[in-house]
Chain A
Amino acid sequence: MNNFSGELFDQYFLNSIDLLCISDMSGRFIRLNPEWERTLGYTLEDVTNLQYYELIHPDDIEETRSAARDLVDRKLVKEFVNRIRHKQGHYLWIEWRSFLFGPYIYASARDITHQIEHERFTRETQEKFRIAFENAPSGMSIIRSDGSYIAVNPMLSQMLGYSAEELMQGTLHTITYSEDVERSNEWIRKNIAGEKCEPDFEKRYVHKDGRIVWGLVRSQWVKDIEGKPLMAVTHILDITARKEAEAAIQNVNRILEKKVAERTRELDQSVKDLQSFTYSVSHDLRAPIRHIDGFMKLLYARIVNPGEAVNNYYFKVKEAVTRMSVMIDSLLVFSRLGRKEPVYSRINLDHLVREIIHLYQHDTANRELEWTIQPLPDIYADKNLMKLVFENLISNAIKYTSKSEHPEITIGVTAGEADFHELFIRDNGIGFNMQYADKLFGVFQRLHNNEDYEGIGIGLANVKQIIDKHKGSVRAEGKLNEGAIFYIKLPK
């Protein structure tokens, strides 16, 4: 026993951080240090009647025996690891260093269970990541901040037609579509800097066969303790099909828009044609009507003592010519208005309306006309054209209330809509039958005869044309012998 004791030896033996034991060649323990009890729970008494092999995990016995043979051959075994049963039944991973001296085995051992478990955990984690990476249904890559690859997955190879080796030889920029390189770099820069940028980035890659592959990219940077970017784990979803569908839809939309524009142009053109037709017809009609008037008057001047009948006919022709000339000139004005684009400015409508009413003061002086003018909004429109609109509507209201007993005219504004003012002019005059409402705004359309109410029927056509030009709308409600109300809707 003296071989295994002595004060100095005991101090080492008792205070060692490692498990120390001495056994004979059969595996019977002769001495254990206290670390054994702390680590594996055994005292020398516990194991006195045990053989070393009884403590070993059954799966490790074979290897341990082989290590023991090595020990006999080489006198020393290092870095041998097996599992030893704790007194409580569970196993710990123990690393051994043993040497043979005389008939005894001197062994130091260390519990490396934590290390083994950590390694296993790391290995498992790596394996899990590898499986996820390799089998991901989207392209995946791990890149450095310079765009070079640490790893690419099979799906990325499949997406882009390059083998993993080919991809790894190049960089991110090799496979990025040239027009998207700058944008892509900027996105990476922002990502690294932690600046705000879209989490999902759409960019184009170039397939090995030259075609464009659209990718939806999401990236997460891994940084070191100092914040330096180490690598980014990147997912790339192939959205080429979606992009192509979008492009197809856009293309269809473009074609549609083009068609609409074409049709609009055609419509504009036919409106223009119609306008110039109206214009040139009324222009050309002016000459013959002028000639009729001229020669008729010259003829009349040559008639000595014209009788009552001649005078009557002369008067009728003259009237007809006058009416026709008014119509022609109104048509000219109408078509001129049609070609005039509004010049917009802010208009104080209150002011404008009162100005116009003042204009007609003379006509209404001896009538008991009751005006109600509600506060009116400022509008944004062409002042001259709006003046024409309100002149028409106000003079109509005055005209068609001329036979009312208590004529009333109200000018006001309805609640309207968010983007529109709706103004109205209401009178209690002759009104009209709603059945003919659509005829009100036509050129030379009249609902009353000339004898009762003078006019040629162009005023409301001008009103409609002007309001249409302002992208507004006009409508009328009425009841025969009760009155009419005209609504004008104008964009705010």
Chain B
Amino acid sequence: MKNIPRILYAEDNLNDIELTLAAFEESNLANLVDVVRDGEEVMDFLFYRGKYQDRSRETPAFILLDIKMPKLDGIEVLKLIRESDEYKNLPVVMLTSSQMENDVIQSYELGVNGFVVKPIDFSDFVQAVKGIGYFWAILNTSPSKL
């Protein structure tokens, strides 16, 4: 049986990481989540650089990107991913604190696959994470799964 693909999650805020992981846990998704803390780490992870040079050669099911991050922000990371040969088709979903119009427009112009504003109510948030995980990791077929 094939390995269940992993989810790459980029987020700098520890509280958010904890809550999002808790939400994944509550939603009973079998996929493992790799957490990186900034945009640069996303690129290191994807291209097996630095501390990720020895990680197993596998492509995540999708990337969950926060926008406000140190070094490279989510939009910049999205741009680099779309410009790369290896990951230009990889599903990317933005998960952000609020919907700045510009961020939404820019993300879509760069070819984002989804843009989700974290609901304040935790129960709603769990539902949102569950929905994202279920759709992108299970329901959706992306080129990386073929």
Q: Write the residues of chain A forming the contact surface with B, with a CB cutoff of 8 angstroms.
A: 279, 282-284, 286-287, 289-291, 293-298, 321-322, 325, 328-329, 332, 336
Contacts and interface: CB of A to CB of B under 8 A. Distances in A.
Interface stretch (B57-65, B78-86, B120-128, B134-142): B120-128
A287 to B, nearest CB: 5
Given A287-B13, A294-B22, A322 B121 contact: yes
Given A287-B13, A287-B16, A294 B97 contact: no
Interface residues of B, number: 16
A287 B121 contact: no
10 contacts: A283-B97, A283-B100, A287-B16, A293-B121, A293-B122, A294-B15, A294-B22, A294-B125, A295-B19, A329-B120
Q: Which of B101, B122, B125 has the most CB of A within 10 A?
A: B122
A298 B98 contact: no
B121 to A, nearest CB: 6
Given A295-B15, A295-B19, A290 B101 contact: no
Contacts of B97: 283-284, 286-287, 290
Tell me whether chain A's interface is mostly helix, strand or loop, or mixed.
helix
A329 B19 CA distance: 21
Give the 4 A-B residue pairs with the shortest CB-CB distance, closest first.
A325-B120, A294-B122, A294-B19, A297-B122
A295 B21 CA distance: 12
B2 to A, nearest CB: 33
Q: Which of B97, B118, B120, B125 has the most CB of A within 10 A?
A: B120
Contacts, number: 51
Given A293-B121, A325-B120, A325-B121, 11 more contacts: A279-B100, A286-B118, A287-B13, A289-B120, A294-B15, A294-B125, A295-B15, A296-B122, A297-B123, A298-B19, A328-B120
B129 to A, nearest CB: 11
Nearest to B120: A325
B123 to A, nearest CB: 7
A403 B28 CA distance: 49
Contacts of B13: 287
Interface in B1-59: 13, 15-16, 19, 22
Given A295-B15, A295-B19, A298-B22, A290 B100 contact: no
B23 to A, nearest CB: 8
Contacts of A293: 120-122
Contacts of A279: 100
Contact of B125 (A290, A321, A332): A290
A286 B120 contact: yes
A321 B119 CA distance: 12
B121 A282 contact: no
Contacts of B98: 282-283, 286, 332
Contacts of B123: 297
Interface string B101-127: 100000000000000001111110100
Contacts of B19: 290-291, 294-295, 298
A329 B122 CA distance: 16
B120 A321 contact: yes
A422 B98 CA distance: 38
Given A282-B98, A336-B101, A290 B120 contact: yes
Contacts of A322: 121
A296 B15 CA distance: 12
Nearest to B124: A293
Contacts of A290: 16, 19, 97, 118-120, 122, 125
A17 to B, nearest CB: 109
